[in-house]
Amino acid sequence: MVPVIALVGRPNVGKSTLFNRLTKSRDAIVADYSGLTRDRKYGEAKWQGRTYIVIDTGGISGDEEGIDAKMAEQSLQAIEEADAVLFMVDSRAGMTAADQMIAEHLRKKNKRTFLVANKVDTVDPEIARAEFSPLAIGDAFPVAAAHGRGVNALLQAALGAFPKDEGEEDELAEAGEGEEGAAPAEPKQRIPGPDEKSGIKIAIIGRPNVGKSTLVNRMLGEERVIVYDQAGTTRDSIYIPFERDEVKYTLIDTAGVRRRGKIFEAVEKFSVVKTLQAIQDANVVVFVMDAREGVVDHDLNLLGFVLETGRALVIALNKWDGMDSHERERVKTELERRLQFVDFADIHFISALHGTGVGHLYKSVQESFRSAVTRWPTSFLTQVLEDAVSTHQPPLVNGRRIKLRYAHLGGANPPLIVIHGNQVDAVPRAYSRYLENTYRRVLKLVGTPIRIEFKGGD
Ligand code: GDP
Ligand code: GDP
């Protein structure tokens, strides 16, 4: 399970600034988040070979009402479930009553907490340390999130003890530096294949009450499904291995399988942390939405996170039963408009309650899984690149043409295509989009994002 770090603090201390710095480590990779209407709150980040999840819990003031109260509740729960909390304060503003209130709350928790004194570009770090020592959260880490100062030392403390990602030790092979023109022999790759034991790992994800448990019960209750004994549980999500039409799957159930006996129903609680970890751990995410509510901001936030992790994606619009044709049209129009940023995903209109459309999900799950994990040989990916380049040449930069020589697969789930050439820093965004679309079309990718990375060689 990937570690989870929660950012906590009153408004304006610099949480989003730190969040952006931690999660924006991938500028060379093509990903388009336009369509997300709100600031993202959950991000995937990487530090020294360790993938982790960052949650910006939003400002907590203690007197929230209505929707804000719900958000604050989720923030408090995220603190509860995170592996470490970064409690941010503003060195320029000095200590405030709200800081003390949050500190008091955190001291009661038995949680690894790091006090982060931000904006030390404006005051002496030693003075900042002294200023906040009454919070009794330990020695403050002086940082300037806006400039990156002190961030590494902070991450070393917060993440250093976690193991590196699988396969991180053996660096991806740097293939064929300096070999003019020729593609190298198959480079060594760290590409996870389908896991023999668990088969295709499917996470059923969505907000509370969209119908996740109903869908899980429906999928497992199908006649053609053979459910095996549970292989053990990790944190709170339940992993359920099963087989259908001779294909192995493991269902990651974030809602918890509930008996009809109702006893457990009331205690079930939606958990952001559980949800994010299930997404990270899955091959394919089945994202459930409630057709009657349409697309809400929280759906977009969660989908933004799915996109960031690069997991394969199938969208299930649930509760399609009992809607009239007028309502259905309205929902479809809204989907087209607001889900453009995940337009690679299949959308199914289902009724988990009645079972309508549920069986069709499997075809999309299989296809998106195949798209996500196929190993395409270097020769083929290079051929596609050559064809694309001869159809549309990359532009000239300072009188020299950008040269793209060969491509190889650098990762799977999502597929990462690494393109080698020179002057690659100057490849315009439109051109990398063109290459992305070409690969998407030629490789017949469905249900998975794709990433393109350029590597220079001159
Ligand atoms: P949030 O409300 O806690 O998410 O805070 P923001 O990240 O939005 O930051 C609030 C303000 O503080 C913005 O104007 C930032 O530019 C500024 N800020 C954030 N980090 C730093 C820093 O390290 N130094 C300085 N001088 N300003 C910062
Ligand atoms: P979860 O919180 O996402 O696991 O949602 P549940 O599976 O507990 O469902 C929430 C409510 O929606 C329950 O009352 C379900 O009976 C109802 N529900 C779930 N799926 C459907 C559906 O396809 N159609 C209708 N009409 N109701 C549904």
- Cis check for the bond before 414: say yes or no (omega within 30 of 0): yes
What is the chain's alpha carbon radius of gyration, rounded to the nearest angstrom?
24
Report the pLDDT value the prediction gives residue 167, as an integer from 0 to 100. 67
Asked which of 24-38, 210-224, 305-319, 349-363 is least confident by mean pLDDT, the reply is 24-38
Q: Check if the beta carbon of residue 300 is closer than 8 Å to that of residue 338.
A: yes
- Please give the single-letter amino acid code of residue 429: R
| pLDDT on residue 39 | 45
210 is in an annotated binding site: yes
Q: How many CA atoms lie within 13 A of 256 on its CB side?
A: 18
- Give the whole-angstrom CA distance, residue 33 versus residue 304: 7
User: Which residues have CB under 8 Å from 75's CB, separation 6+?
Assistant: 8, 57, 58, 60
173 annotated among ligand-binding-site residues? no
**Is the pLDDT at 51 greater than 80, yes or no?**
yes
22 sits in the region (left: phi over 0; alpha: psi -120 to 50; else beta) called alpha
What is the reported pLDDT for 286?
98
Q: Say what the pLDDT of residue 376 is.
A: 95
Q: Which of 73-77, 237-241, 384-388 has the highest mean pLDDT?
A: 384-388
Cα 90 to ligand 1 centre (Å): 8
pLDDT at 195: 66
Mean pLDDT of 282-300: 93
Specify whether the CB–CB gap between 86 and 54 falls below 8 A: no
Whether 98 has a pLDDT exceeding 50, the answer reads yes
Residue by residue, what is the 3-state secondary structure of 315-357? Answer: EEEECCCCCCHHHHHHHHHHHHHHCHHHCCCEEEECECCCCEC
The verdict on the CB of residue 227 being under 6 Å from ligand 2 is: no
Residue 249 predicted with pLDDT over 80: yes
pLDDT confidence of 213, banded at 50, 70, 90? confident
Residue 281 CA to residue 297 CA, distance in Å, equals: 24
Task: Dump the DSSP string for 11-39.
Answer: TTSSHHHHHHHHH---TTS----TT--S-
Residue 93: pLDDT band (50, 70, 90) is very high
Between CA 206 and CA 229 the distance in angstroms is 25
- Across the range 256-283, mean pLDDT stands at 66
Task: Give the model's confidence band at 87: pLDDT under 50 very low, under 70 low, under 90 confident, else very high.
Answer: very high
- Cβ neighbours of residue 121 under 8 Å, at least 6 residues apart? 144, 146, 147, 149
Nearest-atom number in ligand 1 for the CA of 122 is 26
Contact between 344 and 446 (Cβ < 8 Å): yes
Q: Give the C-alpha separation, 45 to 3, whole Å.
A: 10
Residue of 205, 212, 214, 351 to mutate, ligand 2, most atoms within 8 A of C-beta: 214
Greater confidence, 349 or 165?
349
% residues pLDDT > 90 (the chain) = 56
Instruction: Kindly state the tokens that stand for 214.
Output: 């109903």
Give the chain's mean pLDDT: 84
pLDDT of residue 238: 82
Between 102 and 268, the more confident residue is 102
**Half-sphere exposure in the Cβ direction for 332 (13 Å, CA):** 10
Using DSSP bridges, classify how beta strands 451-456 and 416-422 pair: parallel, antiparallel or unpaired. Answer: parallel
Per-residue model confidence as pLDDT tens digits over 53-78:
998 876 565 555 555 565 566 667 77
Q: Is any ligand 1 atom within 6 A of the Cβ of residue 12?
A: yes
Q: Which residues pair with 409 in a beta bridge?
A: 417
- Least reliable range by pLDDT among 45-49, 123-127, 163-167: 163-167
Closest residue by Cα to atom 22, ligand 2, is 319
Q: Which domains are assigned to the chain?
A: 4-160 (3.40.50.300), 200-259+269-373 (3.40.50.300), 378-456 (3.30.300.20)
pLDDT at position 264 is 39
Ligand 1 binding pocket includes 21 (Cβ within 6 Å): no
211 lines ligand 2 (CB under 6 A): yes
194 is in an annotated binding site: no
Instruction: For residue 208, report the distance from its CA to the centre of ligand 2, in Å.
Output: 9
CA of 214 to the centre of ligand 1 (A): 43
Q: Is 410 in the pocket of ligand 2 (CB under 6 A)?
A: no
Per-residue pLDDT averaged across 100-115, rounded?
Answer: 89
- Distance from the CA of 397 to the center of ligand 2, in angstroms? 56
Secondary structure letter of residue 425 according to DSSP: G
Tokens of 307: 């996109």
ipTM confidence score: 0.84
367 CA to centre of own chain: 20
Q: Cα–Cα distances in Å, from 78 out to 2, 159, 413?
A: 15, 17, 27
Q: What is the pLDDT of residues 297-335, one digit of tens each?
A: 888 888 988 998 999 999 999 999 989 999 999 999 999
Query: Which of 4-18, 175-189, 308-322, 395-409 is predicted least confidently?
Result: 175-189
